[in-house]
Amino acid sequence: MNQEELNNKLLEIKDKLIDIEQKANKRIFLPCEAENTYAVNKFLFEDVPLRFVIATGIDSDDYFEILYHYSNDETGCVVTVKAFIRDREKPAIESIAPFLPGAEWIEREIHDLLGIDFKNHPNLRRLILSDDWPEGVYPLRKETKK
Amino acid sequence: MSWKIKALKKSPWVFHVNVGACNNCDIEIVNCLTPRYDVERFGIKLVGSPRHADALLVTGVGTMQAAIRLREVYRQTSKPCVVFLIGACPCGTGIFSQGYHVAGPVDKIIREVDPNAIIAYVPGCPPKPEAMISGIVKTLAAL
Amino acid sequence: MSVSPNILFWIIVIPGTVVLGLVASWIVRKVSALVQWRVGPPFVQPFYDVAKLMGKEILVPQDAHRIVFMAAPIVGLAGIILLSIMLWRIIVTQTTFLGDIIVAIYLMVLPSLALILGSSASASPHAAVGTGREMKLVMGYELSLVLAFIVVIIKTTALVEQGQQLSLAAIAQHAPVFSISGMLAFLSSLMCIQAKLGFVPFDIAEAETELGSGVLMEYSGALLAIWKLMQAVMLVTLPLFLVMVFLGGLSADFLAGLAKPVGTLPIGIIVLLIFIVTGLLARFNKYIDILFLLTLIAACLLAGLGKYVLILVMIILIKNTNPRVRIDQAMKFFWVYCSLALAIAIVLALIGNTCGYSWL
C-alpha cells in the first residue's frame, strides 16, 4: 500500500498510542505504553499488514524502551513501535511470540542482556550469554559494571 | 630437529576457527586461500576437521562461550601442531578489551590446556593475505 | 600358468604402485594448478604429506568401534593393492586365472566399502551423514559400472577365438571404444570412475569437509596416511583398469620397451637427464617447472603408459571444470542417464554381434 493508505490505516489504533510521529519521509514512530503494545503489534502485523524486521531494547535512565520495527516493503517506510516500560525494578512486557514466531529469539536476547521479562513467551531460555554466566547479571544495563 | 617437525614444515594443513570475530579476518583468510595467493606451493591446504590439521588459524577475541569450545578443538588437533592467531583481536583482545563477555586473549585460553603450545601472532585489523603468508612462512622456518 | 619370469617384478610392484600413485596425485594437483593460472605444489609434496601424517598422533574417538575404525583403512588399501597386482601381472605376463573379471569387479568395491565401514565406526554425526551419502553414491554407480563391463564382454565374445578363455587378458587385446556401444560404455564408466575416486563432480562423501562434514572426519595420523595412500593407488589402478577393458591394454612388454632397439635407449637417457635437471631447478623459473611436467609426461609416454596418461588428463579436466553435485542429482545421473545410455549400448552391441557389424 502506498504512504497515504498506510497513514490512514495507522489512525485506526490512534487511541492506543501516545502519538504518531513522522520523523522523516519514510520513518514513523508510534510511542505507546507497555500495556498496549500487544494489541498494537498484533494490529500492525496482521491487519495492516507489515513485515516484522527486528526488535531493539534500550536502557534509558528512568525507564526501559523496547522498539519493534516493521517495514512496508512497497514504499520502504519503516514503522517503529516504541514501548515504554516504566517499572525499573521488575520490568515486564507481554511477549508477541505467540502470534509472531519470528520474534522469539530477539526477545530471548533482550531478556538475556537487559533482564526484561516477557510474559507468555514459549521458550525464555538463555540465548547468547555463555552457560556459566551468573544469573541476575544483565550486562547491558546502565548500572552493571564489568 | 626430528623428522616429524621437518615434514610438518613442508606440508602444514590449516583449520580455521572463529572464536568471536567480526568476520573481517575470516574473509581475509578465505582470500588468502584463493588461487591468487596460491598457498598450495607451500603445501598449505584447508581441511575441514581439526584432526587433520597441523595449524589452527584462530580469529576473534576469545568470548566466554567460545573459549570452552576452543579448548576442545585444540585438544582434538593431533600434535604436533601450531596455533596462528590472526588479527589484533586474538593477539591481545584489540578494541574489545573492556567487553563483558571476553575471556581473555586467545593465547591465555590455549595455555590453560597446553602450557607448551606453539603460538604465532599475526597482528593486523585485518592482516593482509601477504602478511598472513609471511607470518606462516617465518614461523615454519623458525620451528 | 607360469610364474612371472621376473623376480624383480614381484619386488617392485607394490612400492612401485604406491610411488606411481603419489606421482599421479601430484600430476593431478599440478595440472589443476596450471589450469587455474597458479604454480601449485612441488614434486615431492605428496611424499611430504604422507611423511607428515605418519608423524602425527592417532586420535580415536571415545565412542568409536576401535577394531573396525583401525582396520577399515588397512582393508581398503589391501583391496586396491591386490587389484593393482592383478592388473600389473596381466599386463606384464599376459597370463591370468579363471574368473578374473569377477574378482576385479568385487575388488574394486572394496575401497568404497572400507570407507563406509570406517566412517560408520567413527561415532560422529558428520561422518554418519557422509556415510549415508557414500552408500547412496556407491549404489548409484555400481550398476552403471557393471553394465558397462557387460557391454565390453558382449563385444569381446564376438572377437575371441574358439576355446580361448574370456578373461581380462583376452579383453585387453581389443579396443571396444572404437564403436558406438563401446564409446557409450567408456564415457559412462569414466564418470563412474570419477565417482569412485571421489573427485568433483561426485566428491559428495568426502571433500564435503569443506562444508563441515565428511567420511574421514575422525581420522588422524597414520590412519589418515593409509587412506591417502589408498586414494593414490586408486588413481593408478582404476584408470589402468579402464585402459585394459576399453582401450586395448598397455603394450605387451613395456618393461622391456625402454631397452628395446638402440633408437629408444638414447632418447630414454636424454629424457631422464632432462627430468632430473629440470626437477632440481624447477623452483627457480616457471618455464623450467612446466618443462619438468612435460618431461614427466614424455617419460610416461615413452614407457608405454600413454593411454593411462590420456585417461588421467580426462579425469583432471572433468575435475576442474565442474561444480560438486548433490546426492540426488548424482543418483539421477547414474540411474537415469547412464543406465539409459548403457541399455542402448547393450542393445547395439547385441545387434552388432548377431549381424556382424563391429562398429555398432
Contact status of A20 with chain B (Cβ, < 8 Å): no
Q: Show the CA angle centred on residue C329, arms to residues C127 and C149, nearest 5°.
A: 90
- Per DSSP, C324 falls in state P
Q: Which of A88, A87, A107 is nearest to A96 (CA)?
A: A107
Contact C119, C206 (CB under 8 A): no
Phi first, then psi, for residue A17 (nearest 5°) are -100, 160
Q: What is the pLDDT of residue C259?
A: 44
Compare all CA atoms of chain B with the CA of A140 and give the residue at the minimum distance: B100
State yes or no: pLDDT of B113 exceeds 60: yes
Q: What is the pLDDT of residue C269?
A: 80
Taking the CA of residue B19 and the nearest CA in chain A, the distance in Å comes to: 13
Q: What is the pLDDT of residue C253?
A: 46
DSSP C13-65: HHHHHHHHHHHHHHHHHHHHHHHTTS----TTHHHHHHHHHHTSPP---TTS-
Residues 6+ apart with CB under 8 A from C232: C18, C21, C22, C24, C25, C46
Cβ-based contacts of B65 with chain A (< 8 Å): 128-131
Cβ-based contacts of B64 with chain A (< 8 Å): 129-130, 132-133
Cβ-based contacts of B98 with chain A (< 8 Å): 146
Inter-chain touch A130–B63, beta carbons under 8 Å: yes
Count of domains in chain B?
Answer: 1
Q: What is the pLDDT of residue C255?
A: 46
Contact status of B1 with chain C (Cβ, < 8 Å): no
Beta bridge partners of A118: A93
Q: Decide if B32 is inside a domain.
A: yes
Reported confidence tier of residue C312, pLDDT bands at 50, 70, 90 = very high
Choose the closest CB to B49 out of C39, C45, C217. C217
Query: What phi-psi label fits residue C60: left (phi over 0), alpha (psi between -120 and 50 degrees) or beta?
Result: beta
Q: Which of residues 32-51 of B touch A (CB under 8 A)?
A: none
Q: What is the pLDDT of residue C212?
A: 64
CB pairs under 8 A between B and C: 85
Q: Decide if B75 is inside a domain.
A: yes
- CB-CB neighbours of A4 under 10 Å: 9
Reported confidence tier of residue C308, pLDDT bands at 50, 70, 90 = confident
Contact status of B101 with chain C (Cβ, < 8 Å): no
**Alpha carbons C270 and C316: distance in angstroms, whole number:** 28
Q: What is the pLDDT of residue C260?
A: 45
**Alpha carbons C7 and C5: distance in angstroms, whole number:** 7
Contact status of B48 with chain C (Cβ, < 8 Å): yes
Q: Crossing angle of helices C306-320/C180-197, nearest 10°?
A: 60
The CATH number assigned to the domain holding B15 equals 3.40.50.12280
Inter-chain touch B101–A130, beta carbons under 8 Å: yes
Inter-chain touch B43–C58, beta carbons under 8 Å: no
Inter-chain touch A130–B65, beta carbons under 8 Å: yes
Contact status of A22 with chain B (Cβ, < 8 Å): no
Q: What is the pLDDT of residue C2?
A: 45
- Please give the share of chain B, as a percent, with pLDDT higher than 90: 47
Q: Please count the residues of chain B.
A: 143
Q: Decide if B133 is inside a domain.
A: yes
At residue C186, the 3 state secondary structure works out as helix
- What is the C-alpha radius of gyration for chain B, rounded to an integer number of angstroms? 14
Compare all CA atoms of chain A with the CA of B100 and give the residue at the minimum distance: A146
Q: What is the pLDDT of residue C262?
A: 44
State yes or no: pLDDT of B60 exceeds 50: yes
At residue B62, the 3 state secondary structure works out as coil
pTM of the model: 0.86
Compare all CA atoms of chain A with the CA of B65 and give the residue at the minimum distance: A130
Q: Decide if B1 is inside a domain.
A: no
Q: What is the pLDDT of residue C229?
A: 95
Q: What is the pLDDT of residue C261?
A: 45
Average pLDDT of the residues in A10-35: 88
Domains contained in chain A, CATH given: 3-90 (3.30.460.80)
Q: Enter the C-alpha cell of residue C112.
A: 568404497
C-alpha torsion B93→B96→B98→B102, nearest 10:
-70
Taking the CA of residue B46 and the nearest CA in chain A, the distance in Å comes to: 29
Choose the closest CB to A133 out of B64, B68, B98. B64
Q: Which of C346, C354, C112, C48 is nearest to B44 (CA)?
A: C48
Q: Decide if B3 is inside a domain.
A: no
Tens digits of residue pLDDT in B41-51: 899 988 888 99
Q: Decide if B65 is inside a domain.
A: yes
Containing structural domain, residue B117: 8-142
Q: Which of B47, A125, A84, A130 is nearest to C207 (CA)?
A: B47
Choose the closest CB to B98 out of A129, A144, A146. A146
**Alpha carbons C199 and C320: distance in angstroms, whole number:** 9
Q: What is the pLDDT of residue B1?
A: 67
Phi first, then psi, for residue A61 (nearest 5°) are -60, -35
Complex prediction ipTM: 0.90
Compare all CA atoms of chain C with the CA of B4 and give the residue at the minimum distance: C55
**Alpha carbons A10 and A15: distance in angstroms, whole number:** 10
Q: Enter the C-alpha cell of residue C219.
A: 581420522
Q: Where are the alpha helices (DSSP H) in C160-217?
A: 168-171, 180-197
